[in-house]
Amino acid sequence: MNKPSNASTERIRKTLAKRYRTEKRFRLYGIMAILFGVLCVATLFVDIIGKGHGAFRQTYIQLSVDYAPDVLGISDINDTQQLALANFSGIVKNSLRTRFADVSGRSEKRQLYRLVSNSAEYELAGRLKANHGLLGQSEKVWVLADDDIDTYFKSLNSRDGAFVGRTNDTQQEWIQSLIEAGEIELRFNTNFFRSGDSREPEQAGIGGAIVGSLFTLFITLVLSFPIGVAAAVYLEEFAPKNRLTDFIEVNINNLAAVPSIIFGLLGLAIFINFFHVPRSVPLIGGLVLAVMTLPTIIISSRAAIKAVPPSIREAGIGIGASPMQVVLHHVLPLALPGMLTGTIIGMAQALGETAPLLMIGMVAFIVDVPGGITDPATVLPVQIFLWADSPERAFVEKTSAAIMVLLAFLITMNTAAVVLRKRLERRW
Amino acid sequence: MKKRSNTAVQLKAAAIGCGIAMTLASTQAVSAPRDYISIVGSSTVYPFATVVAERFGKTTTNPTPKIESTGSGGGMKLFCSGVGTGHPDITNASRRMKKSEFEKCQAAGVSDIVEVLIGFDGIVLANSVKTKQMSLSRKDIFLALAKNVPAPKSMQDEFVTAQTLVANPYKTWKDVNPALPDVKIEVLGPPPTSGTRDAFAELALEGGCKKISWIKAMKKQDKKAYKSLCHTIREDGHYIEAGENDNLIVQKLDANPNALGVFGFSFLDQNADKVQGSMIEGQPPAFDTIADKSYPVSRPLYFYVKKAHVGVVPGIEGYLAEFTSEKAWGEDGYLAEKGMIPLSTDVRQTNGADIKALKAMSGEGL
């Protein structure tokens, strides 16, 4: 009796070490897979943050500006026409020429004028408009440096040596002299969050894209949440089980996996060509993205409704509530956390989408920050795409910075979904 | 029974709600006048149009025009789809409007179109300044870069009529033309999706292709075969697709002095410290040679304005005035600074006057 069992324990003992090793190896594969993933994400983040952190600060140059009426061509400060046509670029040029008095020659002067961004004249125009008393006075103003100067100045202290780019030796000498006089510095780039797109990198911002994204998501939410929840409730609670509902169910699951560009084509064909919704506005973007997120919301809402135990419904019916009352008073409140989580994840997906927007004209150059759902707008991922394509070197850091902002939004939304689920979830 | 009717009512209400929402959205869209200019079209004109649009938005009370980069063909399609604020006002193009497009416009009621020639864009073949400047003919470029070329033997014998094509056998520039250096053919250029590549194929490759008489004769007999022969670039590693990012090509040329790169003139202009343009047909790519058309690989840039929208959509006249002002399209204008080759002074003057008068194009000679 002992013999056979001894033999099998012997066999087990022999293979035991091997089995332990296989077990260990198996776990190691899993750990390696996770490490690989973490490493990829870490590289991505280091790369993006390394490239993009510079964009949150921008180079400014101090000019002492003389608002000379004869240069500006203003004889009457209260004449808005004169103020609008005034030669502000003239006083910027004058102040640069006074600062670097030894500059002569046409080409050298043009190099000099390229030190500051052309937004300087609009900045000065704004200051004079706000304070008419400045006419004839002079003051020291910090204005934006040109993007080439900005990239050069930021790279001065980098380990790989300065990025010269399009700046030449004379310009570098001027910058050196500005540094010694303390007339050039990096400041926090509020402009980046406030303004819209621009072809001049130093003036470009993601403000317009953020507002556009918010308007678009608002439309998406307002449309897809009620429709999605209504569809889910009907399918789960009321729909008779027959071929038709099965067919609808299969289609909803399929739609969730349809490539998003298809929804863009659908939006173009139906909303733009048939209903004549204008192109490039958050309204059309929101409509298309709503159609795109509907399947996600319906599926997650149905799962949430399914998770509500039947005893709740039975109890409701038992004390005489109508099916609608059961749904509205009991099932929906209990399923809501799950529905909201699904909705937030759907919204996060919509926020990161570019492909469907390509077809409906939201991949466009838009400078003005949109003021409503029928103003032309673009969204964050599209802005990233447009900047990544631009020739100017300074857009590299802007692109990475915009990616950081988009990631921050996505992480916030997904965290909100997790927190919501943890807080409100009820287990039976 | 009751349950069913209940849900039916709910569904009906939902359907009506949706219907109302849609009609509201659509009626608003149709009747709403647009207060901003809507521009579509070529990605080559995009960097110039956006600069003008931005300045126009900043210096006037009008909102900044919206510009979509759809490509020349896509822009024409949108532009010619009809009149009304739902359709774009202006389309940019890196080539002239085609006859078929003009007819399509007419059929859709877009009868009066103002054509604006704004300047030129040169396409350059450049290499690093560390090596010697190349001097090529369009025929050299065709033979070096086409997928299929006439068999070298038949090239020598002009009397052979039955011409054969072979897969491009040339490995070095010297194989193509004994006058060229003995360097491996290595050209970095944009991928097929790029308009620059289309224009390069059309102007440089086809330009060289046409020099071979029997291929030229083929154009009349079999246009399709002619086009595929003259426009197809080799795929055996001598032409390297380097992405749409021209900056990247400049950096790669700097690192590899033996390679040549294909990109727009503006990038040559901005990176003159790193790269030099090759002479084509004995002409260097420069402002003046592109402007007087002696440099052959250049294309005109246009935009087209829907006359019916002038006065309906505010600001179109102002935008035209800004674009055609001396400080924009002039020789020292800000567009030249961005790399556009300006028109000659008298062409600017006559065109400028026509544009101011909003003279509609006749459609003849397209």
| pLDDT, tens digit, 9 for 90 and up, residues B153-182 | 645 555 544 567 788 888 899 888 888 899
Q: Which residue has the higher pLDDT, B163 or A298?
A: A298
The answer to whether A199 faces chain B, any CB pair under 8 Å, is yes
Q: Compute the distance between CA of residue A183 and CA of residue B75 in angstroms, rounded to an integer.
A: 47
Q: Compute the distance between CA of residue A161 and CA of residue A154 in angstroms, rounded to an integer.
A: 11
Neighbours of B3 (CB within 10 A): 13
Q: What is the mean pLDDT of residues A29-56?
A: 94
* pLDDT on residue A83: 80
Which residues from chain B sit within 8 angstroms of residue A323, using beta carbons? 3, 6
Residue B29 has pLDDT above 50, yes or no: no
Q: Are A124 and A74 in contact (CB under 8 A)?
A: no
Q: Coil, strand or helix: which one is A86?
A: coil
Q: What is the mean pLDDT of residues A387-411?
A: 88
Sequence-ordered list of residues with C-beta below 8 angstroms from that of B70, at least 6 positions apart, any chain: B40, B41, B78
Residue A283 has pLDDT above 70, yes or no: yes
Whether residues B29 and A198 touch (CB distance < 8 A) is answered with no
* pLDDT on residue B2: 41
Task: Give residue A331's region: left, alpha or beta (phi > 0; psi -120 to 50).
Answer: alpha
Q: pTM value?
A: 0.79
Whether residues A171 and A68 share a domain: the answer is: yes
Q: Where are the beta strands (DSSP E) in A37-166?
A: 57-66, 138-144
The answer to whether A277 faces chain B, any CB pair under 8 Å, is yes
Question: For residue B248, what is the nearest residue in chain A, using CA coordinates?
Answer: A391
The answer to whether A368 faces chain B, any CB pair under 8 Å, is yes
Which residues from chain B sit within 8 angstroms of residue A198, using beta carbons? 54
Q: In degrees rounded to 5, what are phi and psi of residue A3?
A: -60, -55
Residue A9 has pLDDT above 80, yes or no: yes
Q: Are B325 and B78 in contact (CB under 8 A)?
A: no
pLDDT band at B327 (very low <50, low <70, confident <90, very high): confident
Question: For residue B37, what is the nearest residue in chain A, using CA coordinates?
Answer: A376
* pLDDT on residue A428: 67
The interface residues of chain A toward chain B in range 214-233, judged by CB-CB distance below 8 A, are 227, 230
Question: For residue A376, what is the nearest residue in chain B, using CA coordinates?
Answer: B66
* pLDDT on residue A3: 54
Whether residues A324 and B86 touch (CB distance < 8 A) is answered with no
Two structure tokens written together for B28: 């608003």
Which residues from chain B sit within 8 angstroms of residue A238, using beta carbons? 3, 7
* pLDDT on residue B244: 65
Q: Are B294 and B151 in contact (CB under 8 A)?
A: no
Q: CA distances (Å), B270 to each of A168, B256, B297, B338, in order?
A: 12, 19, 19, 9
Q: Compute the distance between CA of residue A348 and CA of residue A343 in angstroms, rounded to an integer.
A: 9
Q: Which residue has the higher pLDDT, A217 or A428?
A: A217
Q: Compute the distance between CA of residue B19 and CA of residue B21 in angstroms, rounded to an integer.
A: 5
pLDDT digits (tens, 9 = 90+) for B32-76: 578 899 999 888 888 899 999 999 988 888 899 999 988 888 899
B226 residue type, one letter: Y
Sequence-ordered list of residues with C-beta below 8 angstroms from that of A355, at least 6 positions apart, any chain: A259, A260, A261, A264
DSSP A356-401: HHHHTT-SEE--SPP-STTS----HHHHHHHHHT-S-TTHHHHHHH
Whether residues A360 and A406 share a domain: the answer is: yes
pLDDT digits (tens, 9 = 90+) for B259-296: 999 988 877 877 777 889 999 998 999 888 888 888 98
Whether residues B32 and A363 touch (CB distance < 8 A) is answered with no
Q: Is residue A29 part of a domain?
A: yes
Kind plus residue range of the DSSP H or E element containing B299: strand B298-306
How many A×B Cβ pairs under 8 Å? Answer: 83
Residue A272 has pLDDT above 60, yes or no: yes
pLDDT digits (tens, 9 = 90+) for B87-109: 999 999 988 888 899 999 999 99
Whether residues A115 and A261 share a domain: the answer is: no
Domains defined for chain B, CATH in brackets: 34-121+299-356 (3.40.190.10), 122-298 (3.40.190.10)
DSSP letter at B297? S
A230 residue type, one letter: A
Nearest to B67 among A230, A364, A389 (CB): A364
The answer to whether B58 faces chain A, any CB pair under 8 Å, is yes
Whether residues A42 and A105 share a domain: the answer is: no
* Least confident among A360-374, B97-111, B214-228, B351-365: B214-228
To the nearest whole Å, the CA of A408 is away from the closest chain B CA by: 27
Residue after which a domain boundary falls, among A10, A38, A53: A53
Q: CA distances (Å), A129 to each of A68, A126, A210, in order?
A: 14, 5, 29
To the nearest whole Å, the CA of A22 is away from the closest chain B CA by: 46
* Least confident among A47-61, A270-284, B101-115, B332-346: B332-346
Whether residues B38 and A280 touch (CB distance < 8 A) is answered with yes
Q: Compute the distance between CA of residue A343 and CA of residue A229 in angstroms, rounded to an integer.
A: 10
Whether residues B58 and A198 touch (CB distance < 8 A) is answered with no
Q: What is the mean pLDDT of residues A225-245?
A: 94
pLDDT band at B27 (very low <50, low <70, confident <90, very high): very low
Q: CA distances (Å), A233 to each of A236, A295, A336, B2, B258, in order?
A: 5, 13, 11, 17, 67
pLDDT digits (tens, 9 = 90+) for B98-146: 889 999 999 999 989 999 999 988 899 999 988 889 899 998 999 899 9
Q: Compute the distance between CA of residue B358 and CA of residue B360 in angstroms, rounded to an integer.
A: 6
Q: Is residue A298 part of a domain?
A: yes
The answer to whether B67 faces chain A, any CB pair under 8 Å, is yes
Which residues from chain B sit within 8 angstroms of residue A393, using beta carbons? 247
The answer to whether A36 faces chain B, any CB pair under 8 Å, is no
Which residue do the tokens 């317009």 mark?
A208
The answer to whether B22 faces chain A, any CB pair under 8 Å, is yes
Nearest to A367 among B11, B64, B86 (CB): B64
Whether residues A242 and A378 share a domain: the answer is: yes
The interface residues of chain B toward chain A in range 68-87, judged by CB-CB distance below 8 A, are 68-69, 85-86
CA proximity to A95, closest of A113, A74, A107: A113
Q: Compute the distance between CA of residue A296 and CA of residue A302 in angstroms, rounded to an integer.
A: 10
Which residues from chain A sit within 8 angstroms of residue B10, using beta carbons? 230, 234
Its ipTM equals 0.76
* pLDDT on residue B9: 47
DSSP B91-103: EEESSPPPHHHHH
* pLDDT on residue A300: 94
pLDDT digits (tens, 9 = 90+) for A311-325: 999 999 999 999 999
Whether residues A278 and A419 share a domain: the answer is: yes
pLDDT band at B7 (very low <50, low <70, confident <90, very high): very low
- For chain B, the first-to-last Cα distance in angstroms comes to 70
CA proximity to A212, closest of A401, A416, A389, A381: A381
Q: In degrees rounded to 5, what are phi and psi of residue A116?
A: -105, 155
Q: Which residue has the higher pLDDT, A247 or A4?
A: A247
Whether residues A391 and B57 touch (CB distance < 8 A) is answered with no
Q: Compute the distance between CA of residue A85 and CA of residue A79 in angstroms, rounded to an integer.
A: 10
The answer to whether A385 faces chain B, any CB pair under 8 Å, is no
To the nearest whole Å, the CA of B152 is away from the closest chain A CA by: 40
Whether residues A153 and A108 share a domain: the answer is: yes
Whether residues A253 and A362 share a domain: the answer is: yes
Whether residues A98 and A29 share a domain: the answer is: no
The answer to whether B263 faces chain A, any CB pair under 8 Å, is no
Question: How would you label B288-309 residue by residue, b for 16+ Cβ within 10 Å and e otherwise?
Answer: ebbbeeebbbbbbbbbbbbbbb
* pLDDT on residue A352: 92
| Average pLDDT of the residues of chain B | 82
Residue A1 has pLDDT above 70, yes or no: no
Whether residues A185 and A324 share a domain: the answer is: no
pLDDT band at A63 (very low <50, low <70, confident <90, very high): very high
Q: Compute the distance between CA of residue B58 and CA of residue A335 in angstroms, rounded to an integer.
A: 51
pLDDT digits (tens, 9 = 90+) for A105-160: 777 888 888 899 988 988 898 898 888 888 888 899 999 999 889 988 988 877 77
Give the percent of chain A with pLDDT over 90.
Answer: 59
Q: Is residue A340 part of a domain?
A: yes
Q: Which domain holds residue A16?
A: 2-53
pLDDT band at B8 (very low <50, low <70, confident <90, very high): very low
Whether residues A365 and B69 touch (CB distance < 8 A) is answered with yes
* pLDDT on residue B245: 67
Whether residues A269 and A407 share a domain: the answer is: yes
pLDDT digits (tens, 9 = 90+) for B196-225: 788 888 888 888 888 887 788 888 788 888
CATH at residue A325: 1.10.3720.10
Kind plus residue range of the DSSP H or E element containing B67: strand B66-68
The interface residues of chain B toward chain A in range 27-56, judged by CB-CB distance below 8 A, are 28-30, 32, 34, 36, 38, 40, 46-47, 50-51, 53-54
Q: Compute the distance between CA of residue A300 and CA of residue A425 in angstroms, rounded to an integer.
A: 14
Q: Compute the distance between CA of residue A260 and CA of residue A297 in angstroms, rounded to an integer.
A: 15
Which residues from chain A sit within 8 angstroms of residue B29, using beta carbons? 275-278, 374
Residues for chain A: how many in total?
428
Q: Compute the distance between CA of residue B301 and CA of residue B353 in angstroms, rounded to an integer.
A: 18
Domain count, chain A: 3
pLDDT band at B1 (very low <50, low <70, confident <90, very high): very low
Whether residues B266 and A391 touch (CB distance < 8 A) is answered with yes
* pLDDT on residue B34: 85
* pLDDT on residue B3: 42
Two structure tokens written together for B296: 């052959």
Give the percent of chain B with pLDDT over 70.
Answer: 86
* pLDDT on residue B299: 86
Whether residues B32 and A374 touch (CB distance < 8 A) is answered with yes
Task: For residue B306, list its beta bridge partners.
Answer: B113
The answer to whether B270 faces chain A, any CB pair under 8 Å, is yes
Q: Is residue A76 part of a domain?
A: yes
Name the burial class of residue A14, with classes exposed (0-12), middle (13-18) and buried (19+) by CB atoms within 10 angstroms of its CB: exposed
Whether residues A247 and A340 share a domain: the answer is: yes
Which residue do the tokens 């343009």 mark?
B277
Q: Is residue A311 part of a domain?
A: yes
Kind plus residue range of the DSSP H or E element containing A32: helix A2-52
